[in-house]
């Protein structure tokens, strides 16, 4: 895949990851998928840098380490009080290279004053260098992740010599009203394929398996009130915060 405008490249890694499939949460148990979903990587990228005026598009991911799972007995807290015993299956010792770019959210014309390509891109690159603006989680909060800059494709990956791997039907991500313009929360499904260690994602609008969940309205933002201005954030980063 050729490099596009507004693109960032980073490496994210951690001891454990838990990219849960909603269909595998029945009975309080959690089981990770073999690879991160588009939505999970988008969430990680948004933790690095995000504004409501932009939408991150995940272009591709490179799986650097072998896919290995580990089961643990955990005692999650119940909503009614106390805790219970459950079994969670995690990915162990993970590392991914991610390539992503942003586009402006055309469904938010009220934020057009914030459509500044140069500033957003420079802030995003600086945020990658600093390890992200917010804490990085690999699927769930107990799985701490770490981010550092990289050149996508450099270094040796475990699956570099394997021509093709299929993972069946998986969740691609969630459609939110502020990104689609529809007052409906939807889930997307797709069938990923890894080629020589790399998975190229289709765009959210290219997913043909879309299922509505429930009606939902987009949250409103106002420049200078509900969100911090890009200029202020850029000045903070320039000042070394």
Rounded to whole angstroms, how far apart are CA atoms 24 and 101? 30
Rounded to whole angstroms, how far apart are CA atoms 111 and 140? 30
pTM, two decimals, is: 0.83
Determine whether 123 is exposed, middle or buried from the number of CB atoms within 10 Å of its CB (0-12, 13-18, 19+): buried
pLDDT in tens, the chain (241 residues): 556 678 999 999 999 999 987 666 666 678 899 999 999 999 999 999 999 889 999 999 999 999 999 988 877 777 777 777 778 899 999 999 999 999 998 888 888 888 888 999 999 999 999 999 999 999 988 999 999 999 999 999 999 999 999 999 998 988 888 788 788 888 889 999 999 999 999 998 899 888 888 887 777 766 665 445 444 544 555 554 4
State residue 84's pLDDT score.
Answer: 78
Rounded to whole angstroms, how far apart are CA atoms 178 and 195? 33
State residue 23's pLDDT score.
Answer: 65
Rounded to whole angstroms, how far apart are CA atoms 162 and 150? 22
3-state secondary structure of 204: helix
Q: Which two tokens stand for residue 128?
A: 């990658």
Contact 145, 44 (CB under 8 A): yes
Cα 209 to the center of its chain, rounded Å:
20
State residue 230's pLDDT score.
Answer: 46
Q: Minimal CA–CA distance to 40: which of 174, 178, 183, 131?
A: 174
State residue 2's pLDDT score.
Answer: 55
Q: What domains appear along the chain, each with residue ranges and CATH number?
A: 7-238 (3.30.70.2660)
Rounded to whole angstroms, how far apart are CA atoms 126 and 8? 10
């Amino acid at each position: 895949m050729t490099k596009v405008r507004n693109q960032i490249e980073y490496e994210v890694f951690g001891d454990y990851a838990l990219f849960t499939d909603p269909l595998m949460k029945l009975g309080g148990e959690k089981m990770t998928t073999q690879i991160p979903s588009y939505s999970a990587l988008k969430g990680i990228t948004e933790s690095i840098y995000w504004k409501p005026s932009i939408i991150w598009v995940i272009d591709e991911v490179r799986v650097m380490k072998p896919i290995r799972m580990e089961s643990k007995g955990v005692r999650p807290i119940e909503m009614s009080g106390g805790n219970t015993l459950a079994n969670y299956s995690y990915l162990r010792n993970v590392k991914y290279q991610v390539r992503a770019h942003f586009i402006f959210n055309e469904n938010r014309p009220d934020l057009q004053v914030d459509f500044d390509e140069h500033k957003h891109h420079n802030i995003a690159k600086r945020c990658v260098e600093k390890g992200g603006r917010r804490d990085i989680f690999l699927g769930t909060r107990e799985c701490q992740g770490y981010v550092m800059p990289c050149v996508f494709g450099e270094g040796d990956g475990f699956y570099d010599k394997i021509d093709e791997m299929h993972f069946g039907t998986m969740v691609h991500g969630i459609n939110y009203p502020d990104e689609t313009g529809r007052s409906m929360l939807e889930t997307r499904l797709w069938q990923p394929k890894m080629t020589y260690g790399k998975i190229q994602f289709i765009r959210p609008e290219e997913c043909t398996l879309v299922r509505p969940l429930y009606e939902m309205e987009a949250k409103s933002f106002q420049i200078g009130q509900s969100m911090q201005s890009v200029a202020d954030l850029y000045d903070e980063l320039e000042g070394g915060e």
